[in-house]
Amino acid sequence: MRTELASVSASETERIAAVLAGRLMVGDVVGVSGELGAGKTTFVRGACRALGVTSPVTSPTFTIGHRYSGDVDVSHLDFYRFAGVSAAEWGDLEPYFEDAIVFVEWPEVGASVLPPARLTVALEHAGGDRRRIALASAETALVQGVS
């Protein structure tokens, strides 16, 4: 199922992410796509807060990944600087997927090695602080009723 939402602010994007986070479970992978500045890290921050993460949630662009402790562990990966992900590189990334909910920014870069995403999120600029957020999942209940 695919649904599209509109967000008028960063806090609303975080709220939408928080609603979705309540429907996720350990082992889930969430692909988060969008151009630079579209709100990918903002979305992940909102999900992390809902999952009990209290530490700062920042973009892992220059570190590749962050692992946060909350009510569950949350991993946040960013493949922006990658041209692709090799099997050898996957070996370094695999621990991020153990016993965690995983958010992957720029997931298309690692499509050949990543586990299937339970949810995909695409964010798009819509002028000023407004964003269009497209949610897609094979599970209707995951995205149904999110507003």
CATH code of the domain in which 39 resides: 3.40.50.300
Domain extent, residue 7, equals: 2-100+112-143
106 is a domain residue: no
User: Which residues is 78 bridged to in the sheet?
Assistant: 105
User: What was the pLDDT predicted at 64?
Assistant: 84
57 is a domain residue: yes
107 is a domain residue: no
64 is a domain residue: yes
pTM above 0.75, yes or no: yes
User: What was the pLDDT predicted at 89?
Assistant: 80
Q: What is the mean pLDDT of each run of 10 residues along the chain (147 residues)?
A: 95 97 97 96 98 95 90 95 79 93 94 92 96 95 89
Which residues make Cβ contacts (< 8 Å) with residue 41, sequence separation at least 6? 57, 58, 59, 76, 105
105 is a domain residue: no
User: What was the pLDDT predicted at 88?
Assistant: 79
How far is residue 101 from each of residues 68, 70, 145, measured CA to CA in Å? 10, 11, 21
22 is a domain residue: yes
User: What was the pLDDT predicted at 84?
Assistant: 76
CA angle 133, 139, 140 (to 5 degrees): 70
User: What was the pLDDT predicted at 90?
Assistant: 81
Number of domains in the chain: 1
User: Measured between alpha carbons, how far is 67 from 75 in angstroms, rounded to an integer?
Assistant: 4
